[in-house]
Every structure is written in structure tokens, then in C-alpha cells.
Amino acid sequence: MTALQDLYPDDFAHCYGCGRLNTHGLHVKTEWQDGEGVAHFQPAPHHITLPGFVYGGLLASLADCHAIATAAGATMVATGQVPGRDPTPRFVTASLNVDFLRPTPLGPELLLRSRATEIGERKVVVGLSVFVDGLECVKARVVAVRAPTTMRASGGS
Amino acid sequence: MTALQDLYPDDFAHCYGCGRLNTHGLHVKTEWQDGEGVAHFQPAPHHITLPGFVYGGLLASLADCHAIATAAGATMVATGQVPGRDPTPRFVTASLNVDFLRPTPLGPELLLRSRATEIGERKVVVGLSVFVDGLECVKARVVAVRAPTTMRASGGS
């Protein structure tokens, strides 16, 4: 299945976290499955906070990009489009709240699962969790808003 | 002045965000000035969300490491130690809340200023802002807790 981030328009595809056109980036990929966003991510050995544990800033970054794609997916479903097939609308983050429930061990692949809890015309709220080997390590809540036209490369600024 | 992060013990100095021993990392450096933490950071050209604007996950990462150092600094002052001279105690993040007040323009150096708003024995709350050319772009609130001994390389796990 095509990731939602791979269907962003070109001028919205440079994000360090998830843009397919950012050659230095993390390339977070969100797939749409049964009404939720699902992503897998393998942290690099240098993505640590203390030896053996995943860096919180990386977890916040993954949560951010995954939630933004989930906000887009939920909006698409609400408007009759198909996430992973149709172009993905670009949201940006208004607010990012991350609770580190326990240290996240470095080694296994991370699983991110997310769901929109509130879908407005301009604003979508997303809840998500990060799991390692079935254990919930991180919970996050993200408020996403449609990218303002002033942020488009083609829209000035 | 020596940054607080440069006075972490060696086994706490590998953080991707601020560890002097992480060769791939961001190297956030917090100085202690008149009761607050101050940091400067120059984002790289690839640290973007949309072209022209700084990536939110990077801003969350900077906020995280800067707040953790500020929690340590405030604790040191409260216990008669001198931030930037004495060894820095290591805190970890329990909760990270970031409000993106406006898009953060890419180009100028970022200024981070932070202050502890609550200092407990194990838990410290830090408020901070990120400024670009004097304009406040990001506000964050971080709950920091003393690093548990189980997270020390020398403490097992």
C-alpha cells in the first residue's frame, strides 16, 4: 500500500520527518488500515537518549509526522476520498503533546498507531501510541490544522 | 561559559539531542544566565517542514534537551551548586508539550530561553520559548524527572 506521505504534492514533500524529497530525512511512512494510521520505524543506533533507549525528540518527531498524515487520512475518509490512493492534503502541527510512559528500548522496530478523535473542517485532533514488542511506551496527542496558503512555496512568503 | 550538557557524566553524554559524545547529534548547548537557561541553535537547510520553515520535530527536540538541562540547572541552584561549573545531574523527560504559535522561519539562528516553574525533589517543570529575530514562534512546557538508576549504563538494563 502507498504511504500517505508519498502522495503529498511535490511542494509539500520536503519535510525532514516524512518528505520523500528530503534526502536527509527520517522518511516516516503512514499506511491507512481500517480507519487508523499505522507506521513502522527502525531507529538508528545514534538515536539514543541514554545508551539503550530511544531519543525522546525522535519519538516526538515520529509522532508529529505520523499524526499529521493521520489527520489527512481521516479528513479524506470524511470527504469521500481514499487514503493511500488519492493525493494527501497537507496539515501542519498546531500543538504536540507527548507523554513518555516508560523508557523506549532501542533495538526492536517501533510500531505507531493513531486515530483521529475530532475532525473539524480546519482542525483535526489525533491520538497515538508508540509500541515496542507490544508494550506501549509513548502516548501523544496532536492538534493538526490545514497548512495555510502562506506556507506554500507557490503561495508566497 | 561551559554548557550544562558538557558537564554531564560520560555515561549520560550520548544523547542525540545534546550529548557531547554523540557524533551524529544536534549538540544543543544550554548556558545558565541569571536564573534561566539560554541556548542558540542554527538549523540546517534540511531541517524543514515545508520549504522556508523549520521542522516541528526539530523544535520539539531542541525544547526537550534545553528544558532537561534547565531542570538540572534550577535543581543545582536550589541545592547550592553552580550550573556550568559543577557536574550536571541528568534528568529525563516525562512529558513534552509544544505549541507552535506561528511557522518558524528557516534562516536566522534560533534563541531558546527557559525557566523552571516548579522545582520538586524528583520532578521539575520547565517553561520555554523559541524566538527568531525577537519573535516568539514556539512555547513549550516540559516535565522533567531525575533519570532512574535503571537507565544508567552502569545500573543494568
Cβ contact A15–B50 (<8 Å): yes
3-state secondary structure of B92: strand
Indicate yes or no: CB of B94 within 8 angstroms of CB of A100. yes
Q: Is the Cβ of A15 closer than 8 Å to some Cβ of chain B?
A: yes
What number of helices (H) and strands (E) belong to chain A?
Answer: 1, 6
Q: pLDDT of A70-79, one tens digit each?
A: 999 999 999 9
Q: Which residue of A has its CA nearest to B151?
A: A50
Confidence band, pLDDT 50/70/90 cuts, at residue A153: low
* Distance (Å) from the alpha carbon of A70 to chain B's nearest alpha carbon: 16
Determine phi and psi for B153, rounding to 5 degrees. -55, -35
The per-residue pLDDT for B101 is 98
The alpha-carbon gap from A132 to the nearest alpha carbon of chain B, in Å, equals 15
ipTM for the assembly: 0.95
Residue A155 has a pLDDT of 44
Report pTM.
0.95
Nearest to B5 by CA among B38, B29, B22: B29
* pLDDT surpassing 60 at residue B156: no
CATH number at residue A48: 3.10.129.10
Cβ of B95 and A94 within 8 Å?
no
**CA A27 vs CA A24, A39, A120, B64, B113: distances in Å:** 9, 11, 27, 22, 30
Flag whether pLDDT at A152 surpasses 90: no
Residues of A in contact with B20 (CB under 8 A): none
Alpha carbon distance B89, B71 (integer Å)? 9
Closest CA to B64 of B28, B110, B115: B28
Tell me the mean pLDDT in the region A10-34. Answer: 96
Angstrom distance (rounded) from CA A88 to CA A149: 16
Expressed as residue numbers, the domain containing B22 is 4-155
Please say whether the beta carbons of B95 and A140 come within 8 A.
Answer: no
User: How many whole angstroms separate alpha carbon A107 and alpha carbon A34?
Assistant: 28
In this prediction, residue B141 has a pLDDT band, given cuts at 50, 70 and 90, of: very high
Bigger pLDDT: A101 vs A147:
A101
| Mean pLDDT for the stretch of residues A3-28 | 96
Size of interface A-B (CB pairs under 8 A): 151
pLDDT tens, residue by residue, B82-122: 999 999 999 999 999 999 999 999 999 999 999 999 999 99
- How many folded domains does chain B comprise? 1
Return all residues near B127 (Cβ < 8 A) that are at least 6 apart: B114, B115, B117, B139, B140, B141
Give residue-wise pLDDT tens across range A110-129: 999 999 999 999 999 999 99
User: Do A48 and B99 count as a contact with CB atoms less than 8 A apart?
Assistant: no
Contacts of B57 in chain A (CB under 8 A): 16-17, 26, 57-58, 60-62, 64-65
